[in-house]
A and B are shown apart, each in its own frame.
Chain A
C-alpha cells in the first residue's frame, strides 16, 4: 500500500520550528544589544575573561560539522551509504570536540568561582554580572541545542545504516541537517559578540 508522503510539508514544518528558535535566541540577542549599549565599557572588559582561542577552535569545529552534514545528504542521494555514515560520524566527532572544549572552558570559570549566583559574581559590577549571566545563559542554551542535535544525528546515522533513510526517502536527514545548521548559525553570532568584541 502506498503511504502518503509530503516531504515539502515536512521541511516547511521544520522551518517553522526553526523560526521559533531564531526568535528565542533573537530575544536574548536583543537583551545583549540593549545591555551592551548601556554598559559598553564593562561588557568590553568582561569579554577579556573569555578565551578567544577556544572560541575559535569551536567555531572551526562547528563549521566543519555543518559541511559534513550537508555532504551526507549528497551521499545519501547518490546512494553512497558508507560515505553518508562516515560524514555524520565526522559531524558527531566535531560536536564532541565542541563539548570537550566547553567543559574545560566552563569548568575553569566554575573553579575560579565565576558562575551565576556565586559569591564572586554577586560582588561584581552590574555590567559584569549582566555579561557573564548572558554568556552562561546563551552558550548554555546553545550547547543544549548541540547535545539535542547530536542525539538526533545519532538516530539518523543508525537509520542510514539500517537503510530506513535511503536515496528515495531522506527527509528526516534533511530536517536533522537543518537543525544542525541552526546550531551553527547561532554560534556564528555568539562567537564574535561574546568572545571577539573586547
Chain B
C-alpha cells in the first residue's frame, strides 16, 4: 500500500493555522461586546466548532491520515450531538 508514505507538513502551514485560530479567538471575544441576546451562545458555539474543525484537521492530522480516522471522529461526534438533541427534546417538551 502506498499509504505508508509519511506526509511532512511545512512549518508555515502550522503558522497560518495558528493565525487563523487567533483570528477566530478575536472574533469570539469581539462578538461578546455586541448584544445578540439569544444568539450569543449560538455564535460562540459556531465559532468554537470552526476552531475545533481546524484543530482536528491540521493539528491532529486528520487531513493526512487514513480516512478511517475521520469516519470514526464523525461517528463519535454525531452520537454526541444526538445525545444532546434527545436530552433537550425530553427536557424542553416535558
Contact = CB atoms under 8 A, between A and B. Distances in A.
A192 B66 CA distance: 32
Contact of B22 (A19, A30, A63, A73): A63
**Interface size of B as a range:** 35 or more
Contacts of A77: 6, 8
A74 B87 contact: no
Classify the secondary structure of B's interface with A.
helix
A64 interface: yes
Interface residues of A, number: 43
A125 B76 CA distance: 36
A23 B9 CA distance: 29
Contacts of B60: 177-178, 181
A181 B14 CA distance: 13
Given A189-B48, A196-B29, A184 B11 contact: no
22 contacts: A15-B69, A19-B72, A34-B88, A52-B32, A59-B25, A60-B25, A63-B21, A66-B55, A70-B58, A71-B11, A71-B14, A77-B6, A181-B55, A184-B59, A185-B52, A188-B51, A189-B52, A192-B28, A192-B45, A192-B47, A196-B28, A197-B32
Interface of B: 6, 8-11, 14-15, 17-18, 21-22, 25, 28-29, 32, 40-41, 44-45, 47-48, 51-52, 55-56, 58-61, 65-66, 68-69, 72-73, 76-77, 80, 83-84, 87-88, 91-92
